[in-house]
Structure formats: structure tokens, C-alpha cells
Chain A
């Protein structure tokens, strides 16, 4: 165990503990296609954990499973998931609804697509407060203004009344992050939140995420295929391939001394002007 996982040695409870999670897709003929195979993941308080892997490696399905929002035909075949001391794998839909947005937040990949085009930004950002904390529409709107301010959107009192199409891509993503932060969740799942953004905006969003961890003490599960982002942001990394975890370790160890062949391949595939891949720029 490296320095970032010291708490594991003490008797503490991780924010998220996934044990032996298997996800299967039901197929016509009655057999099942295993897409996630015995995955175990720990996320400790105040930790930013990255899952990297190519498309189809099962990283998004794993994150959707923790929210219990898998597509209709996918089922959790095996395994347990705990958020703190609360089990997630055996909650009913109604119980999960109470947890979503309140204790776990999802920051999706494409912010533009994830905002309702017919609803003012403020209403959407304040929505978790209306849903979980019984805020009225007007007090939720006021709180939304503060939230937008906390993700560095200028003139938030004015901006809450605007519609998504009036926001730039970076602002939309920050609005989604503000929505995720509304109720100070223990765990934030960020599913490739910077993929659709250009590099400068990407840097701002990453900085914001780190700020959130530092100030609010949330744990972040960061899903990406971008090794540069992982190097910059994460404390601990899981490498996934074909539904399995091939390797995990502290970010420095993954980049300097990868154990798995696949990780080495991934690192070599990263375009770079140097002969060796850049570590934590």
C-alpha cells in the first residue's frame, strides 16, 4: 500500500466499496453475456480514483451500477456495493431514488446533452434541493445562484435565468458540476466530464474538481480514457479491460512502473513528443 491508501490499514470505512461485481446482459437464447467480471473497487474519503480503459471495457457500466441505473437488459449478476455503511446492491428503486443526487452525484460526459433545453439553468441546478431537501422553487433558485457562483460562473444571479443554449460548453459542464454539488454528496461519479471540452476549459474543470475534493471533502470516481487527465488529477487508478480490472495502484506507480502488459500498451499508445510517456506534467 502506498501513501494515499494509508487509511486502508486503519479500521476505516471506504466511501464506496465494490466487491466482486459482475454485470451481465441477457440475450435472446437465455444465455448471458458477461460485460463486467468480478470487479472490486475501493474509494476512500477525499480520494480521487480514476478508472481508465478503452471503450467497451465496462467502466461506464460499473459506474452506472453504483447508481443502479443500468440499461434495462443488464443485470447485476453477483457482487456487493456499499456506500459508506449503506448497501447499494439490494436497495429498491424507491430507496435508490432517495440516494441519487443526495449522497451520490453523477457528472455526465456531455453537459449540453444532459441539460433539459426547455428549462432554465437555475431550475435544473436547484432541482436536487427541491427533490431531496424540500426547497421551494424560489429558494432553490436562490441556492442555484450560489452554486453557480461556487463553480466560478460570473454574474450567477443573472445566469440562473438563462437557458442551456445560452451557455458555452465549459459553462454547461460547470453547471452540471454545480448541480452535482447541490447536496454535498459523499461520492461524485464523473463519467468523462472533460472529453467534450477543449484543453483550456478541460484544465479549468479539472481544477474545479480538485477544489471540490479539497473544500467539500467529497470522494470522486473519475472515469476516462485520457491518461493525461488521470496523471494530473487522480490519487489511485484502476485499469480496466474487457470487463476486468487488470491492474490498480497509486497514480505514480501506474505511470512509472506498470505491472500489467495492457497498462504498458496504453501508456505507449499515448501520443507524445518524448520517447517515454509524460508523467504528471
Chain B
């Protein structure tokens, strides 16, 4: 056990570890929110509204007297949930479409990739807003909408990586021992295109948090009184002069979670790419 620790290449993994620590802390907040948060995120206290940070309320209170720290901690739940589900939707469906396009080629490739380009041509926010408008506003729909936004990116990446792997001789060798299509995809192709997709997934996580915040800010994501960093930011906007902490705190939360995921993404790319030198 000790020798494992000693042999571990800390320098190689330092970006992943830094990002992982930040995200780990946020994840702990998200999972154990009810136990960590000092107050309920919904309890109104009209007497104590718009208080600046103090011993009783470490990060102050909002315009309805709710504890800001508790609300920020609870909001981490939504952000992490959205990030996880949206990135998974993008990863799974994008990979499926990309691999299918590359593997079957011809008309299948044509139709799938043109459709992906159609989705790609919309600005991400606009596409998400349009999807939300047609799906209805709820946090579940926000996850689906953000996931759909990610599909074209993942599918292009998966398609390009699959094209490379398909030219490899080990795929031909697999056919030569009588392997069928399904098994070739799962055993030969997927494990060999995983690295770039994982890096992209980490980036998608951070982007999902930004998109969810943007949607909630616009009133399309989490619905008040449910706390989300986006709608907290929107509320804080009105009290910028009297209570700047109302905007700063959720803003900082968004900043650190995005930073954390980007560090993981960058770090993973370095670790997984054998050709990249520092």
C-alpha cells in the first residue's frame, strides 16, 4: 500500500488531483447538503432579510431572510445532477451516433452527420432555450435539453476516433477470427476511443453547469423557491448595491465548479495522451 503511494506519479496527475479535490468538496456538499447546511434553504425569516455575513449567517441572508450558505450548498445538488445527467446523455447518445456513422458509413453516415451539423449550427444557449420551450420548463427537461446540446460534439469526436480505429489491423484480425459487428463495436472499438471521449465528458460537465445556470438565470431551469446557482444569481442582480454577496457567492460557486471540471479535463488529456510532452 505504501509502495503504491510512493510509486504514484504525483506530477503527472496533479491537474486531475487539484480539479478532483475541488469537485470532491462540491460533491460532498451536494450529497450531504441536508446535514452540512446550517439552515433549511427554504426557511423564511423576514426579520433577518438582506443581512450581511455574520456569525449566525456565515454568508448573509437573501431578500426573504433565507440563509445564503444553506441555499448555495443545496444548489450544488441541482448543478451536479444536471451536469452528470446532461453529460451522460451527450456521451451515450453522441457516442452511439458517431460510432454508428463511422462503422456503417455511406448513407447512414451521411444522414446522421448532416443532422448533427444541423444541431451544431445553433448557438448552444439558443438551442437549449428552444428545446426548453418545446419540452416545458422543469429541471428534468433542462437536463435533457443540455444533453441534446452536447450530442453533436460527442458524435463528431466519436466518429473521427472510430474512423481511425476501423483502419487498425486489430479490427481486421478480429473479423478474421469470426467476430460479429456488435462484438467488434464493444470489444475492439469502444475501449480504444474512450480516452478522448472521457476528456470531452469532463469539459461537458463544466459546460453543463454553465448552461444550467444560464437557463435557471433566464427562469427556464430550476423554479423558485428551489435554489440553483443560476436563479440565485438572478435574484442577487436586483440587490447588487445593498447586498453584493447575493451575486458573489453563487457566482463563485459556479466559477469553482467550472474550474474544477476543466482542470480534470485538461489533466486527463495530458495523462491519457501518451504523445504529449510537458
Residue pair B175, A69 in contact (C-beta under 8 Å)? yes
> Which of A69, A101, A117 is within 8 Å of B172, CB to CB?
A69
> Which residues of B have CB within 8 Å of A179?
177
Measured CB to CB, the nearest residue on chain A to B169 is: A113
Size bracket of the B interface: 10 to 19
CB distance from B266 to the nearest CB of A (A): 23
Q: Please tell me if A67 contacts chain B, counting CB pairs below 8 Å.
A: yes
In the complex, what distance in Å separates the CA atom of A110 from the CA atom of B170? 10
Contact bitstring A58-98, B, C-beta under 8 A = 1, else 0: 00000000010100000000000000000000000000111
In the complex, what distance in Å separates the CA atom of A116 from the CA atom of B170? 6
> Which residues of B have CB within 8 Å of A117?
170, 192
**Interface residue total, chain A, C-beta cutoff 8 A:** 26
Q: How many A-B residue pairs have CB under 8 A?
A: 63
Measured CB to CB, the nearest residue on chain B to A69 is: B175
> Which residues of A have CB within 8 Å of B174?
116, 127
In the complex, what distance in Å separates the CA atom of A165 from the CA atom of B192? 14
Contact bitstring B206-227, A, C-beta under 8 A = 1, else 0: 0000000000000000000000
In the complex, what distance in Å separates the CA atom of A117 from the CA atom of B169? 11
Residue pair B192, A67 in contact (C-beta under 8 Å)? no
> Which residues of B have CB within 8 Å of A110?
169
Residue pair B172, A118 in contact (C-beta under 8 Å)? no
Q: Which residues of A contact B (CB under 8 A)?
A: 67, 69, 96-102, 105-106, 108, 110, 113-119, 127-128, 131-132, 176, 179
Sample of 26 A–B contacts (CB below 8 Å): A69-B176, A96-B178, A97-B180, A98-B178, A100-B178, A101-B179, A102-B178, A105-B177, A106-B173, A106-B176, A108-B169, A108-B173, A108-B176, A113-B168, A113-B170, A116-B174, A116-B187, A116-B188, A118-B191, A118-B192, A118-B194, A119-B191, A127-B177, A127-B179, A131-B178, A179-B177
Sample of 5 more A-B contacts, CB < 8 Å, known A97-B179, A128-B178: A100-B175, A108-B172, A110-B169, A127-B179, A128-B177
